C-alpha cells in the first residue's frame, strides 16, 4: 500500500513487474503477506508510516504468535525533514512511535538510517525472519532511498551449530524410548510446516511406520492422503474419535514443533501424560521431564531420518476417497451439511483458508493437500481468510484458494476480494451466513452478537468481479459448490444461509468449555 513516505520505494518496485501487489487496506496487505509467507517461507508487506504501519500491528502480532516470517517494511519521513521536530502528517507522539510499537510484535526492528550499514541490517532482518520464523520490521526514511550503499554482505553468521554430543545423546534417548514403546505416535505441529520439514517428516513416517496426527494450527503439515496421516488431534475438538483414541492411548507421543495453546488442545482438554511425551521445539527437545538444549525440531527429525533411513522411495500420490455427501432435495441447509459437502468436494488442488469460528472448527476433518490448509488457529484473528486467499493464490498458483468464512468475519475484510482478479487469483468463497457472531452466542448472547444483514451474493457485482449465489437447501448448496469449483476462471461466491443458532458439533463442544469460563465471572 503506497503513501507519500513510500513513493520512492514504490517507484523502485515498479522496475520488477509482478513484485508489487496492491490491496484495499493495509490490514488486507498484512494478512495477504502472512498467507504468502506460510506457503513460501517469506512474505513482504510495504506500507507508509503511521497511517500505514500502525494498521499492521494486528496482522504482525498474528505473524508473531503463529511463527510466520513476514518482513514489514515502512517508509518514514526523511532524516532531514525531522530537524526541529516539526508536525509532519502521520506523526503521533514523536518520530519513534511506530518503531517502539513494532518492537513489541516483531523479532527484530531496525531503522535504516545509514546506507553503509543498511545492507547488513537488511540481510540480518531477512535471516532472522527465516531462522526464527517470526516477523521483522524495517523502517526506511525516504531520504535514504537511493543513497549509494555497499552490496549485501555474504559473510553473515550462519545458524548456530547444534552440539553433536548433545544431539547424539538426545537421539539415543529418543530412539530407545520409541523402540521400547508398544503404541508410539507422532503429533505434527506448525513448525514442521514453517521450517520446511514436511519431506523429512514424511521420510521418518515411511521408515518407521509411526502414525502421524496433527494439531489444528499444524493442519496440512502432513497431506491428508498420506498413509500415515491419522487426523487432527485437539482433545475434545479432534477431527474424529479414532485419532483421539490413537493419541490418548499411545504409550509414547513424539510432539514435533507444536504449540500447546488453548484452541490447539481443545481448550486444554487434550489428555496427554507429559512423562510419556517427547516434545521438540525450536532450540530444545524435552524427553519426558528432561531437556536437551540446542536440539531443535529440525535437528531431531533429520537426525531420526539419518538413523532410521528414509523409508524407501516416495509413493505416488493417490488421493484417499472423500466421504460422499448425498444432499436431501429441498432440505433446509445446516452447518453440518455445509461441512459434509465441503468435505466431499474440496481438497485436491486447493488451498483451503478457514476463518476462526465455526468456519475453522467445522473444517477440522477436511482432507487437504500438504500445505493445503491455512488458518489462524492460535491467534484467531477474524477476517484473515479473505485477504489470505490473495497471498495463497499468488504463492501457489497451481492451487485454487477456497475460502470458508462466517458472515461476521466476512464483514471485516470482504472488499479485498475486489482486487484479486487483476493478479489472476480467483477464489471460491463460501460465506456461512448464520446472522451474527455464532461462535459467541453459545457462550453468552445479546444484541452485541447481531450484525447488520448484507446481501453477500451481490458482493461480486459490486466489486466488479465474478458472480455470487445465495442458497439455503442442502441440494442447492451442493450444486452451487460443485459449479463454483468447476468455474476456475473467476471469483465464485456461495452464500450458505443456515439457521441462526446452528453450529457444528466441534464448536458445540468448544463453546461449552468456553462458556464455563465466561459465565463463571459474569
Which residue lies nearer to a copy of itself by CB, 229 or 456?
Answer: 456
Residues 217-236 that bind a copy of itself (CB under 8 A): none
Counting contacts by CB under 8 A, is residue 11 touching a copy of itself?
Answer: yes
Which residue lies nearer to a copy of itself by CB, 200 or 214?
Answer: 214
Judged by CB under 8 A, the stretch of 220-228, 233-241, 346-354, 454-462 that binds a copy of itself is 454-462
Counting contacts by CB under 8 A, is residue 289 touching a copy of itself?
Answer: no
Counting contacts by CB under 8 A, is residue 88 touching a copy of itself?
Answer: yes
Counting contacts by CB under 8 A, is residue 518 touching a copy of itself?
Answer: yes
Counting contacts by CB under 8 A, is residue 29 touching a copy of itself?
Answer: no
CB 335, CB 478: distance < 8 Å: no
CB of 474 to a copy of itself, least distance (A): 25
Handedness of CA 359, 41, 128, 163 (dihedral sign): positive
DSSP 64-132: HHTT--EEEEEEE--TGGGTT----TT--SSTTHHHHHHHTTSS-EEE---TTTHHHHHHHHHHHHHHH
Which residue lies nearer to a copy of itself by CB, 13 or 236?
Answer: 13
Counting contacts by CB under 8 A, is residue 452 touching a copy of itself?
Answer: yes
Q: Which x/- pattern, by CB under 8 A, does the window 367-406 give for a copy of itself? A: -----------xxxxxx-----------------------
Which residue lies nearer to a copy of itself by CB, 106 or 221?
Answer: 106
Q: What angle do CA 362, 367, 370 make, to 5 degrees?
A: 120
CB of 443 to a copy of itself, least distance (A): 6
Among 24, 149, 178, 310, binds a copy of itself (CB under 8 A): 24
> Helices 335-345 and 474-486: crossing angle, nearest 10°?
30
CB atoms within 10 A of CB 247: 25
Q: What are phi and psi of 20, to 5 degrees?
A: -90, 130
Among 42, 51, 121, 284, binds a copy of itself (CB under 8 A): 51
Alpha carbon distance 327, 318 (integer Å): 26
Among 150, 455, 486, 501, binds a copy of itself (CB under 8 A): 455
Among 100, 274, 320, 516, binds a copy of itself (CB under 8 A): 100
Number of residues this chain uses to bind a copy of itself (CB under 8 A) = 94
Counting contacts by CB under 8 A, is residue 27 touching a copy of itself?
Answer: yes
Q: What letter would DSSP give residue 236?
A: B
Residue 509's nearest CA partner among 246, 240, 242, 220 is 240
Distances (CA, A) of 85 to 51, 64, 226, 321, 426: 19, 32, 60, 66, 47
Please report how many Cα atoms fall inside a 13 Å half-sphere around the Cα of residue 245, on the Cβ side: 3
For 245, residues 6+ apart whose C-beta sits below 8 A from its C-beta are none
CB of 312 to a copy of itself, least distance (A): 37
Counting contacts by CB under 8 A, is residue 262 touching a copy of itself?
Answer: yes
Counting contacts by CB under 8 A, is residue 36 touching a copy of itself?
Answer: no
Residues 64-83 that bind a copy of itself (CB under 8 A): 64-65, 78, 81
Handedness of CA 203, 208, 209, 215 (dihedral sign): negative
Alpha carbon distance 342, 397 (integer Å): 21
Residues 141-170 that bind a copy of itself (CB under 8 A): 142-146
Residues 265-284 that bind a copy of itself (CB under 8 A): 268
Alpha carbon distance 183, 206 (integer Å): 16
Residues 399-438 that bind a copy of itself (CB under 8 A): 411-415, 418-419, 421-422, 437
Amino acid at each position: 500500500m503506497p503513501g507519500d513516505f513510500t513513493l520512492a520505494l514504490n517507484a523502485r518496485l515498479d522496475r520488477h513487474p509482478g513484485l508489487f501487489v496492491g490491496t484495499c487496506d493495509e490490514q488486507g496487505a498484512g494478512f495477504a503477506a502472512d498467507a504468502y509467507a506460510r506457503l513460501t517461507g517469506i512474505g513482504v508487506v510495504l506500507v507508509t508510516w503511521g497511517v500505514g504501519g500502525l494498521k499492521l500491528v494486528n496482522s504482525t502480532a498474528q505473524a508473531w504468535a503463529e511463527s510466520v516470517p513476514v518482513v514489514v517494511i515502512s517508509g518514514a519521513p526523511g532524516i532531514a525533514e525531522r530537524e526541529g521536530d516539526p508536525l509532519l502528517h502521520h506523526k503521533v507522539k514523536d518520530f519513534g512511535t511506530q518503531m517502539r510499537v513494532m518492537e513489541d510484535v516483531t523479532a527484530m526492528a531496525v531503522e535504516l538510517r545509514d546506507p553503509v550499514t543498511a545492507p547488513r541490517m537488511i540481510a540480518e532482518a531477512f535471516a532472522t525472519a527465516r531462522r526464527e520464523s517470526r516477523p521483522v520490521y524495517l523502517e526506511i526514511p525516504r531520504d535514504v532511498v537511493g543513497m549509494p550503499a555497499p552490496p549485501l554482505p555474504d559473510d553473515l553468521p550462519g545458524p548456530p551449530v547444534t552440539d553433536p554430543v548433545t544431539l547424539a545423546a538426545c537421539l539415543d534417548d529418543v530412539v530407545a524410548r520409541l523402540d521400547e514403546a508398544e503404541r508410539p505416535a507422532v503429533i505434527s505441529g506448525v513448525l514442521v510446516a514453517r521450517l520446511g520439514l514436511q519431506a523429512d517428516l514424511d521420510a521418518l513416517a515411511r521408515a518407521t511406520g509411526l502414525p502421524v496426527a496433527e494439531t489444528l494450527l499444524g493442519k496440512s503439515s502432513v497431506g491428508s492422503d498420506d498413509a500415515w496421516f491419522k487426523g487432527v488431534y485437539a482433545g475434545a475438538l479432534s477431527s474424529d474419535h479414532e485419532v483421539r483414541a490413537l493419541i490418548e492411548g499411545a504409550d509414547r507421543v513424539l510432539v514435533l514443533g507444536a504449540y500447546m495453546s488453548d484452541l490447539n488442545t481443545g481448550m486444554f482438554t487434550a489428555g496427554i501424560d507429559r512423562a510419556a511425551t517427547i516434545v521438540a521445539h525450536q532450540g530444545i527437545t524435552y524427553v519426558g521431564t528432561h531437556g536437551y538444549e540446542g536440539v531443535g525440531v529440525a535437528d531431531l527429525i533429520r537426525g531420526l531420518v539419518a538413523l532410521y533411513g528414509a523409508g524407501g522411495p516416495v509413493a505416488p500420490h493417490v488421493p484417499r476417497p472423500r466421504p460422499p455427501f448425498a444432499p436431501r432435495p429441498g432440505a433446509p441447509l445446516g452447518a453440518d451439511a455445509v461441512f459434509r459437502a465441503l468435505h466431499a468436494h474440496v481438497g485436491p488442488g486447493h488451498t483451503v483458508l478457514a476463518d476462526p469460528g465455526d468456519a475453522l472448527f467445522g473444517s477440522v476433518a477436511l482432507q487437504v493437500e500438504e500445505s493445503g490448509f491455512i488458518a489462524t488457529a492460535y491467534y484467531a484473528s477474524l477476517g484473515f481468510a479473505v485477504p489470505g486467499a490473495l497471498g495463497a493464490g499468488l504463492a501457489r498458483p497451481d492451487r485454487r484458494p477456497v475460502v470458508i468464512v462466517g458472515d461476521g468475519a466476512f464483514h471485516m475484510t470482504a472488499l479485498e476480494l475486489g482486487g484479486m482478479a487483476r493478479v489472476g487469483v480467483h477464489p471460491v468463497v463460501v460465506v456461512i451466513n448464520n446472522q451474527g457472531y455464532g461462535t459467541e452466542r453459545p457462550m453468552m448472547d445479546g444484541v452485541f452478537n447481531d450484525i447488520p444483514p448484507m446481501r453477500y451474493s451481490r458482493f461480486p457485482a459490486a466489486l466488479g468481479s465474478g458472480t455470487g449465489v445465495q442458497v439455503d437447501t442442502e441440494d442447492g448448496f451442493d450444486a452451487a459448490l460443485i459449479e463454483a469449483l468447476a468455474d476456475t476462471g473467476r471469483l465464485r461466491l456461495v452464500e450458505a444461509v443456515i439457521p441462526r443458532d446452528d453450529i457444528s458439533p466441534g464448536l458445540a463442544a468448544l463453546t461449552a468449555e468456553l462458556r464455563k469460563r465466561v459465565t463463571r465471572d459474569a
